[in-house]
Structure 1
Amino acid sequence: MMADGEKDWLEAELEDTLDEDFELEMSDPMLSQEIRKIYRAKHPDMLDRRTYFTNLLRLQGELIKLQDWVEHTNAKVLVIMEGRDSAGKGGVIKRITQRLNPRVARVVALPAPSRREQSQWYFQRYVPHLPAGGEIVLFDRSWYNRAGVERVMGFADEEQVEQFFQDVPEFERMLVRSGIILLKYWFSISDEEQQLRFLMRIHDPMKQWKLSPMDLESRVRWEEYTKAKEDMFARTNIPEAPWYIVEGNDKKRERLNCIEHLLSQIPYTDIPHEKVTLPERRYNPDYERKVLPDKLYVPKIY
């Protein structure tokens, strides 16, 4: 049971979060009415917003407890986020890190490898980004690029792919043996859902940047990506680091289900905190605040 104070806080936070969400969704009117109608018709059972935000805030409160535990115990948490383009992994990552300390929880999203990196041991460019003690690291795509986009698009040959499949299970076992808590998520959406989301991005000026030529090519090669994904699961789903598939056709359920599962996989506990009190400010009777020139201030347009 929540205390009255907790309920009041939750209601106030919920109202604030709904305002933030409204701001984030301001680009919706830019979508064509036709596409909006199609999308809503295809999703008659989407989770309602109040249920979603109430549970999201509860889970984000638990994530803060997890963060405190990670800092206190010097734990190392690594979360790998993979999935098809537009499957929603970015949205999940954003909700996980939204209220966390960026010094503790950070996101790694590496660009395409440089010529120098291409000549290195394949895992080498990922190793510097692994978590140290007291850190949570989320990989927005990872070394599994080799099993997916690099394989399907021909950036890696079959020999390199086979070498990867032989190496990655032992590499991940080494990470786990070193004390890293490793979680691997695959965000899954249907063929029809990806098509709808791509159409929405094409017709939304605020989201067109999310569509790259590679994304569009992935749409063409849907079946090749499916075969590559199935092969990846068969070769890399090991007991020490299993895959977890998150169904993503409903973004709100996808976010809640993933965060709920992530929390269930880590044995965190409440860490007691000393009560914080605000100290009295020191006042110097001889101090006079200087008047700064107007040009230093941002113009008050609003």
Structure 2
Amino acid sequence: MAPPPPLLAGRYDLGGLLGAGGMAVVHRGHDRVLDRPVAVKLLPPGSPAAAVERFRDEGRRHAAVRHPGVLPVLDAGADRGWHFLVLELAAGSLAQLLRRRPVLPPAEAAALLGQVAAALAAAHRAGVVHRDVKPGNVLLDDGGRARLIDFGISLGAGGVDGLPADQVLGTREYLSPERLRGAPATPADDVWAVGVLGHQLLTGVRPADGLPALPAALPPALHAALLAAVHPDPARRPADGAALAALLAGPAPTALPVGALVPGDGDDATRRLPVPARAPRRWAAVALTGCVLAGGALATAFPGVAAAVVR
């Protein structure tokens, strides 16, 4: 693939590559008009018409979600066959933070999870399900606040993937049980992903083969919220980002949902949820998912949903 032009749309100077995913690439940029750094996501010339339309849809869905916890889209357009989205340039990512500090203190983890949940609440109010909440898609601003990005595989109200019935988009470790079975995406899937992320932040364990047990000494509200978020029945989870944000911020309920706690090993009462057995590695191409900073994993279209999925 030929490199993009050094000056895009007569306004954006393009610098080094920040990340790549599917058919898209993300470059550091500089806005000449407003004299500020930006991130520029690019789709190359010659991309299939369906890919171009998905890229445009991504920009529209992203721009529809207006919230301080969502990294804003600043501009969009095309120049010499290159379609582009311009976003704020963030200071870092949660994935980068976890490489330095794999386990976060409960107060810091709760604050970040609450910020992600609030951002998802705005997305859900706008009729958008993100479908790929994970550390690489949570950026951090200069003050350490979470900023949600990458609506490349998000789905609007009434939207469909156009994928075969036995394939599902997402990142395996953060997919809900119902999505692994091929059920349609709902806000409850994003809630599950935040719950999985919370387990990871507090234990330092990437949830490759099941959720790790939560630490025994957690604030009751945080403990209750995370257990509720990963309830295997989506009807018993917080319904959406707003409900999860309220649960994270509020006092612990007097009683958790039925089935939320199952006796675990030793003294903790945290469930170890199973993940379906691994299936043979079969892959489908995914267009237009990426990250504004390097280090985000690609979202993948997983075949064989009724069986298992692997990354």
Q: Common fold, TM-score beyond 0.5? A: no
Range class of TM-score, shorter chain: under 0.3
Bigger RCO of structures 1 and 2 (CA < 8 A, at least 6 apart): 1
Structure 1 length as normaliser, TM-score?
Answer: 0.26
Where is the helix percentage greater, Structure 1 or Structure 2?
Answer: 1
Structure of higher CA gyration radius: 1
More strand by share: 2
